[in-house]
Amino acid sequence: MRPVRQRGKDGLLSVLKQRFSIPVREFAKFALDTRWPDGIFVVDLEVVQQPGRADDVRFMVMDQENLKLWKYNQQAMKAGATATALPRPSSMISAMISHGAFAFRPPQTGSYYCILDNTYSVLTPKVVDVSASWMWFEDARFRFIERVLKAQKWDDIWALIKGAEDSLDGGKTIDCCNALRTSLISVWAKVCEAVTSEKVPLDKGKTPDVGILANYLTQRGVSEQSIAVIRRVWSYISELAHVEKAEARPPSTADTSFAFGLTVPCILYLLRLIPSPAEA
């Protein structure tokens, strides 16, 4: 099933919403995939109840190897083996549930399998509504960036950074790279003005000259090596943003994720150059 990709007001990214019909002595499963372990999955389940009943299912979460072992055990027990004589798979979650929510953090990137187990029931088929979401861990760097940008009343730049994150979540890599590129150069120009108390000359519709921006800072004692790194990151993002025009394809998710990871510390470094009120 193709995941649903929609961020809610609570910051959760919806990845699945589905109803499962599970016959007696059967199970259903679905996979949750992640390329980044820096977050948690939240799974909401509800067994659709018939009047006068209180049915439940067993819910489990396993990696691929343990799923194979669990399925092997199911086949072995159907052939007459006893559960106590079989190797026991490991699960991240195992619980009987009629309705509720579970959260788990993937220990590493990859696929994790959620099992709705009705194999123990010989009389009652089950219908289960499932929704699953992904939630990134709150990053202290992001909290600092948001706080400084809003204190400086640069809310439009914060919107660009959040837009880049949303675009990356949604697989819109070219939109992400464009937002990263604009947010980095915007912060850079604003910080130059804050450090020098001078207005950076900008030509309408043109990107600021990064060489001029670099000189604004290095001439006031900012590390040339650090500014050189920011210039290289700027060049890298700019190349990615123009890949689609050059090769008629968007940048890869891996390259865009790397660009995102490089841009955040650059913005963080630049914001730390802003003089405090006592220094201004």
Domains of the chain: 6-136 (2.60.120.680), 140-271 (1.20.120)
Q: Which residues contact 237 (CB under 8 A, 6 or more apart)?
A: 177, 180, 181, 184, 259, 262, 263
Q: What is the pLDDT of residue 17?
A: 95
pLDDT at 22: 97
Contacts of 173 (CB under 8 A, 6+ apart): 167, 240, 250, 251, 252, 253, 255, 256
Per-residue model confidence (pLDDT) at position 277: 66
Confidence of residue 246 (pLDDT cuts 50, 70, 90): low
> pLDDT band at 254, cuts 50/70/90?
confident
CA distance 206 to 57: 60
pLDDT-based confidence at residue 4 (cuts at 50, 70, 90): very low
Higher pLDDT, 150 or 137: 150
Q: How confident is the model at residue 198 (pLDDT cuts 50, 70, 90)?
A: confident
Question: What is the pLDDT of the chain when averaged over all its residues?
Answer: 88
Cβ(98)–Cβ(56) under 8 Å?
yes
* 96 vs 176: CA distance, rounded Å: 41
CB atoms within 10 A of CB 267: 25
- Written as one letter, the residue type at 160 is L
User: pLDDT value at position 164?
Assistant: 93
Instruction: Give residue-wise pLDDT tens across range 40-62.
Output: 899 999 999 888 888 999 999 99
Q: What is the pTM (predicted TM-score) of this model?
A: 0.57
pLDDT per position as a tens digit, 125-148: 999 999 999 887 766 788 889 999
Go through the chain and tell me how many residues it has. Answer: 280
